[in-house]
Amino acid sequence: MTNSTQSLPERPPPLDRNAYDTKFWDFDEWKKWSNSTEGRGSVKMRGPVPFLEDSHGDPLTSASIDAIRRTMRRIFEMMASKDIAPRSWGRLSEHAYLLFHIGVGTTHPELRLCLNDWKANELAKNVYSAWRTARRRTKARAKGVKPEELDQDDLGVCADDDDEGYEPEKKRSATLEDNARSAKRRKPASSSSSSSCTT
């Protein structure tokens, strides 16, 4: 019997804090700063995820953060396809933890500019929760049931999954122009291309 973590690439060693000019290397530094007068006054100027920073301590751009979220959702899709996606981020198995952090840390090394992966974990809590909720809604819709009626672990693989994962549904009312545009683009669905999910 082989160990399930043997197929994982080796995790890169921790980075040396002294080699980088980051503002928030550990979670306590972030917490202390965000609760300080300086932090409360300037937290919004640091962007949508203020604790994420580059090697010079500058906040990441919105485009960089969006790319990180897309990578996270792709990894969540992979975890769901391997049946290792947890009910909540706090219940992540060691195997899933390694898969996630190796994948996201390799693709986005700026997430490694901290102690004990706290930056990736903090962002992943919110991204995972939104991804799981949206995925369950999509799966329930495909099965014709309410999300609450699905088994808690039922994330299955959906045939209409895209490589960027699920986005939370946008809350805005469609204008007449939007409705007209989407009606022009709509094509009749054939039975072979209909959305289906498997468990």
Q: Tens-digit pLDDT profile for the chain (199 aa)? A: 444 445 666 778 889 999 999 999 999 999 999 999 999 988 889 999 999 999 999 999 999 999 999 999 999 999 999 999 998 999 999 989 999 999 999 999 999 999 999 999 999 999 999 999 898 888 888 888 876 766 655 554 443 444 344 344 333 333 334 433 444 444 444 444 344 444 4
Which helix (H) or strand (E) is 119 found in, with range?
helix 118-143
In terms of residue numbers, what domain contains 66? 4-159+194-198
**Residue 177 falls within a domain, yes or no?**
no
pLDDT of residue 8: 65
pLDDT of residue 117: 94
What total of structural domains would you count in the chain?
1
pLDDT of residue 5: 47
**Residue 147 falls within a domain, yes or no?**
yes
**Residue 172 falls within a domain, yes or no?**
no
Say which DSSP state 17 is in.
G
**Residue 46 falls within a domain, yes or no?**
yes
User: What is the rounded distance in angstroms from the CA atom of residue 199 to the CA atom of residue 154?
Assistant: 7
**Residue 186 falls within a domain, yes or no?**
no
The interaxial angle of helices 94-107 and 118-143, nearest 10 deg, is 110
**Residue 168 falls within a domain, yes or no?**
no
pLDDT of residue 135: 87
Residue 141: exposed, middle, or buried by beta-carbon count in 10 A (0-12, 13-18, 19+)?
middle
Which helix (H) or strand (E) is 135 found in, with range?
helix 118-143
**Residue 20 falls within a domain, yes or no?**
yes
User: What is the rounded distance in angstroms from the CA atom of residue 23 to the CA atom of residue 44?
Assistant: 16
**Residue 187 falls within a domain, yes or no?**
no
User: What is the rounded distance in angstroms from the CA atom of residue 171 to the CA atom of residue 69?
Assistant: 19
pLDDT of residue 175: 37
The pTM is what? 0.71
